[in-house]
Structure 1
Amino acid sequence: MTDAAVVPLQAEGIPVADDPIILAFGAVYLLIVVLIGAWGYVRTQTTGDFLITGKSVGTWVLAMTAFSVIQSGFGFVGGPELVYAFGTTPLWIFFTAPLGFLLTWVVLAKRLRLLADIRNVLTLADGMYVRYESDWVRGLTGLAVIVGVIAYLATNLAALQFVMRAIFGVPVVWGLFGGAFILLLYSMLGGMIAGVWTDFLQALTMITGAVFVFAYAMSFGGGMETISRNLATADPALVSPFGAMGGATTAVLVGVAWWILFSVGAAGQPHLITKFYMSRNLEILKWGAPIAALSYAISSLIAFSAGLSMRAMVEAGEIGETFSASEVGPVFVLEHTPSLVAGLILAALLAAIMSTSDSFLNIGAAAVSRDIPRAMGRSIEDDRTELRVTQAALAGLTVLATGVVYFSDALVGILGTIGWGFFAAAFVPVVVFGMNWKGATKEGAIAAIVGGLTVNVFYSAVPMAAEAAGYDGIAGGMTALYPYPDVFPVGTVALLVAVVLFVGVSLTTQDGTELPADLHALLER
């Protein structure tokens, strides 16, 4: 065993804006976020208000919220990072994720919204308890949410420390701790009411900023033809259809795996699918999917253009590589776009990270205060008490996720794919199949959640934790047991395992029991 170094994840090589315009944008945006949180606090009277906004969200707000909780800090920090490091391989994420919105809306939107009407459901675990009539399913769903939330929240906190450093010039470690504190305050105040409106604001800002960043990145790199030529000269794999993540065969496998994980896996993201509970009525769901998909595609131009152009200029010797891959997005915006554009993007990122993290914290805290206690037969009956316990649980989750960032050396983009994989494996079969197939059984749901979690924890979470703690031998030994190339996403394997378990166990445990009449009618729609 080696001693774990008690140092923050990232070094402080990221440039500081030192620009009054960018500083003003950041300060104003933070003020707006806090004010929205305070407004949400005034509007929040019940647990239902805190978790699902009292079913008050319209079409554009729903669509923009759905897109922004998926994009968030991953798109600005993790996305350019992966594109810079591996060329076109990550484009299999950004070009296929919009399909996930369309798929999710088709298979789940109407059914989950109707479920919120016919039964008193506030969380994903509530809905799955109603579907399977099993406390085991409810409890395991809550547990899976907590595990995935910690990984995904860590992604956003890792991005937040960069943005705080870039705007305000604070050391990275204080950007992490200070940002986490502001996030916790904002989340405890406003709940989901504040989150969805901050999502809406930052989504509009990110779409606008993405167009500007794309134009400046293409100009900086000399146009797509020059960018491609410079990259191909350095390494033809960087601009091949499947990129440079591993060898040629490995890159193909990774591209296909990410296609599966980020198109099909979208329907298993609880921070996305529980947004359907919030819609004002069924009619507003009609146009949400194309709006969300198009918005995501436009915002992804940041990752695509900044990552490729920066790598091309480094390979051409036009700029020095004085930054890490994780810093590519912030560095490009700070050094190669005008102050107004940089201020707009960085301020929007503050709001994006805050609102997306708020969604994660809400669903995770609800699992702690509502889902798991109810699964154990110890539900909190008083609504105000449940609300306060939910708010208190936010603090614990924030501390855990901050610790993951502080002690881990995983790339922001990799943390994001791990969190996505946790959710996809646990919930795609249970929710998508369960809400569309009357033959799904509680035994199948239990097997799928346990199987998906086991694969993800054994091959992702435990090796990462062991390495962070200094147990490199344990981490290496567990990684050596993984039957695929190390860059092949564990989440895809876990998802496929979970689907096979769900279908196989459901087929062997069907006993002819009829669904309740209201659920039977819902699944017939």
Structure 2
Amino acid sequence: MIENNFAITATFITYLAGMLFIGYYAYKRTSNSSDYFLGGRTLGPWPAALSAGASDMSGWLLLGLPGYAYAAGMESLWLAGGLLIGTWANWLLSAKRLRTYSITTDNSLTLPEFISRRFNDKSKLVQTIAAFFILMFFLFYTSSGLVAGGKLFETVFGLDYTYAVVIGAACVVSYTLFGGFLAVSWTDLVQGLLMSAALLIVPIAAMQGGFGQLSTDLANINPELLTLWNGIDGQPLSWIAIVSLLAWGLGYFGQPHILARFQATRTNKDLTTARRIAVVWTAVSMFGAILVGLVGLLYIEGNMAGQLADGEKIFMLLVNAIFHPVIAGILLAAILAAIMSTADSQLLVSSSALAEDFYKQLLRPEASSSEVMMVGRLGVIGLSLLALFLAMDPDSSVLGLVSYAWAGFGAAFGPVLVLSLYWKRMNRNGALAGIIVGGITIVVWKQLTGGIFDVYEIVPGIIFAGAAIVITSLATAAPDKSVTDQYDLFEKNLAEFD
């Protein structure tokens, strides 16, 4: 447990109260399912950009990436570079076209609903299978976030793990349940700013002698920490390792919680501004996260004789060692912000899949907007309880699934989405093949090891999914006139909206 935790506790309570107030304010502005799931498409560039970034990065930005930099040094730049390029490319290639096309397809609210309407799938098979993948992957993602939140509360306050997880889950569910998308997006704006500020303040405060001295000190520990092309053991990085790290950026094109921010933005022009904000925020935040790991390595060497069992705790350790408890409480709240900003988005996207893609499409097509919104809120409760059950064991095997959940979304939805936005000839059968092949490839590839199978599974997942889409679309009948006419209308609207 962290020492002097009274001030830290007070800071945490104040922070959580602020998040709940935002949730209540958003609740007063939420009247139908469009408001609840997409905020009535009213997001400005700042909340759109920072909400996409904060919901994407999650706790790994303050725990995982610093831990990786702590262990591997400059090798972590390959991962950060891939993610930065992926962020920029996703905003550039997908944002405006998805927002415009989702409006053209009768105001589609969810990703499965958009794909179904894009290809006029009367059977609803595409929408159902897509929603199934979303529910499955996000259930485990959310569970892992609750585990991380539980460990944070356990470490900071010395609470029993079970109580810690329940408290963390209650915080996230409260404002997501009532405020919906607006609450999630506005809290993400605050949380995103807090995360980036913390990642810059902590390493700069801990660093002595500037960047030149930092490089010298790291070289004294191990010169391989400063190389991009070698591992810390001095062996050259293989092409498989480099490609696998860079390929993380490919996952952005299929993440439903990020794509929802594109759909929810106020205008297409706002998306240009939002893209610039998002890229700068991502670059600054990842630079800070890597710096935390490198500075933390020097701190551990100098003060703990290099003994730190879990490198992912380096951010918390530096905060506790350097700052006054009040400031430490604010900075540690950034970890909670990172966890909450992702878990809330995952719960909301999952509940929208349950309400819009299962309940309304399969069970009650005549359901009113307010009824769908109520089902969505009940879905938040139900899904959070399932995730909470899975999170009760801090060593739960669901944490192993997180490593390829990102790849699962990227492969199952990335190629389908990008090609559907740019290829008029693509048909419903191609979309269905792409989702299934992409998702299955991730699961199967993950079980194989050695040689080419060591490459990150998102690479073969996207290749095979893309091939399945193209081959199946060309081998089956062209889309009917209603689908191609809708594509032409989308292109027309794109020009007008811009």
TM-score, normalised relative to structure 1: 0.84
Residue number in structure 2 paired with 1:467: none
Residue number in structure 1 paired with 2:265: 279
**Cα distance, 1:288 vs structure 2:** 0.9
Describe the superposition over 1:254-283 as per-residue Cα deviations: whole angstroms up to 9, x where unpaired: 332231232x32121111111122112222
Deviates more, 1:290-299 or 1:241-250: 241-250
Contact 1:326/1:411 (CA < 8 Å) preserved in 2?
no
Describe the superposition over 1:314-333 as per-residue Cα deviations: whole angstroms up to 9, x where unpaired: 45675452442332222222
Residue number in structure 2 paired with 1:506: 473
CA–CA separation in structure 1 for the residues paired with 2:231 and 2:364:
51
Q: What is the DSSP-based 3-state SS (H/G/I as helix, E as strand, rest coil) of the residue aligned with 2:40?
A: coil
Deviates more, 1:91-100 or 1:362-371: 91-100
Residue number in structure 2 paired with 1:128: 115
Consecutive unaligned residues of structure 1, counting only runs of 5 or more, are 1-14, 461-478
CA–CA separation in structure 2 for the residues paired with 1:47 and 1:409:
37
Aligned residue runs from structure 1 range 399-414, under 5 A: 399-407=385-393, 409=395
Residue number in structure 1 paired with 2:57: 71
Residue 73 (structure 2) pairs with residue 87 (structure 1): yes
**Cα distance, 1:456 vs structure 2:** 2.5
Residue number in structure 2 paired with 1:254: 241
CA–CA separation in structure 2 for the residues paired with 1:255 and 1:523:
37
Residue number in structure 2 paired with 1:186: 175
CA–CA separation in structure 1 for the residues paired with 2:118 and 2:71:
43
CA–CA separation in structure 2 for the residues paired with 1:499 and 1:296:
27
Contact 2:11/2:330 (CA < 8 Å) preserved in 1?
yes
CA-atom RMSD in angstroms:
2.9
Q: Structure 1 residues 137, 56: closer, same or farther in 2, change over 3 A? A: same
Residue number in structure 1 paired with 2:313: 327
Residue number in structure 1 paired with 2:47: 61
Aligned residue runs from structure 1 range 330-409, under 5 A: 330-374=316-360, 376=362, 378-379=364-365, 381-407=367-393, 409=395
Q: Structure 1 residues 301, 425: closer, same or farther in 2, change over 3 A? A: same
Contact 2:43/2:265 (CA < 8 Å) preserved in 1?
yes
**Cα distance, 1:248 vs structure 2:** 4.3
- AA in 1 matched with 2:247: I
**Cα distance, 1:125 vs structure 2:** 1.1
CA–CA separation in structure 1 for the residues paired with 2:220 and 2:475:
56
Residue number in structure 2 paired with 1:476: none
Residue number in structure 2 paired with 1:207: 196
Q: What is the DSSP-based 3-state SS (H/G/I as helix, E as strand, rest coil) of the residue aligned with 2:404?
A: helix
Contact 2:175/2:184 (CA < 8 Å) preserved in 1?
no
Aligned residue runs from structure 1 range 103-118, under 5 A: 103-118=89-104
Aligned residue runs from structure 1 range 142-181, under 5 A: 142-181=131-170
- AA in 2 matched with 1:256: V
**Match for residue 240 of structure 1 among 221, 227, 232:** 227
Contact 2:143/2:388 (CA < 8 Å) preserved in 1?
yes
**Cα distance, 1:168 vs structure 2:** 3.2
Q: What is the DSSP-based 3-state SS (H/G/I as helix, E as strand, rest coil) of the residue aligned with 1:300?
A: helix
Deviates more, 1:152-161 or 1:445-454: 152-161
**Cα distance, 1:84 vs structure 2:** 2.4
Q: What is the DSSP-based 3-state SS (H/G/I as helix, E as strand, rest coil) of the residue aligned with 2:421?
A: coil
Deviates more, 1:40-49 or 1:234-243: 234-243
Contact 1:108/1:432 (CA < 8 Å) preserved in 2?
yes
Q: What is the DSSP-based 3-state SS (H/G/I as helix, E as strand, rest coil) of the residue aligned with 1:449?
A: helix
**Cα distance, 1:250 vs structure 2:** 5.7
Deviates more, 1:297-306 or 1:233-242: 233-242
Q: Structure 1 residues 230, 413: closer, same or farther in 2, change over 3 A? A: farther
- AA in 1 matched with 2:109: L
Contact 1:435/1:523 (CA < 8 Å) preserved in 2?
no
**Cα distance, 1:226 vs structure 2:** 5.2
**Match for residue 297 of structure 1 among 267, 283, 294:** 283
Q: Structure 1 residues 355, 380: closer, same or farther in 2, change over 3 A? A: farther
- AA in 1 matched with 2:153: M
**Cα distance, 1:58 vs structure 2:** 1.0
Residue number in structure 2 paired with 1:468: none
Residue number in structure 1 paired with 2:7: 21
**Cα distance, 1:75 vs structure 2:** 0.5
Deviates more, 1:494-503 or 1:311-320: 311-320
Aligned residue runs from structure 1 range 34-45, under 5 A: 34-45=20-31
Q: Structure 1 residues 97, 309: closer, same or farther in 2, change over 3 A? A: same
Contact 2:150/2:165 (CA < 8 Å) preserved in 1?
yes
Residue number in structure 2 paired with 1:497: 464
CA–CA separation in structure 2 for the residues paired with 1:432 and 1:308:
37
Deviates more, 1:422-431 or 1:104-113: 104-113
**Cα distance, 1:305 vs structure 2:** 1.5
Q: Structure 1 residues 98, 341: closer, same or farther in 2, change over 3 A? A: farther
CA–CA separation in structure 1 for the residues paired with 2:138 and 2:473:
27
- AA in 2 matched with 1:145: I
Residue number in structure 1 paired with 2:442: 456
**Match for residue 482 of structure 1 among 449, 466, 475:** 449
CA–CA separation in structure 2 for the residues paired with 1:70 and 1:207:
13
Contact 1:59/1:285 (CA < 8 Å) preserved in 2?
yes
Residue number in structure 2 paired with 1:11: none
**Cα distance, 1:223 vs structure 2:** 4.8
Q: What is the DSSP-based 3-state SS (H/G/I as helix, E as strand, rest coil) of the residue aligned with 1:439?
A: coil
CA–CA separation in structure 1 for the residues paired with 2:4 and 2:318:
15
Contact 1:142/1:372 (CA < 8 Å) preserved in 2?
yes
Consecutive unaligned residues of structure 2, counting only runs of 5 or more, are none
Describe the superposition over 1:374-403 as per-residue Cα deviations: whole angstroms up to 9, x where unpaired: 554654613222222212222332233334
Residue number in structure 1 paired with 2:490: 522
Describe the superposition over 1:410-461 as per-residue Cα deviations: whole angstroms up to 9, x where unpaired: 899976542321211111111111111112222221111111211233455x
TM-score, normalised relative to structure 2: 0.88
CA–CA separation in structure 2 for the residues paired with 1:238 and 1:443:
49
Q: Structure 1 residues 340, 192: closer, same or farther in 2, change over 3 A? A: same
Contact 2:63/2:313 (CA < 8 Å) preserved in 1?
yes
CA–CA separation in structure 2 for the residues paired with 1:408 and 1:196:
28
Deviates more, 1:205-214 or 1:83-92: 83-92
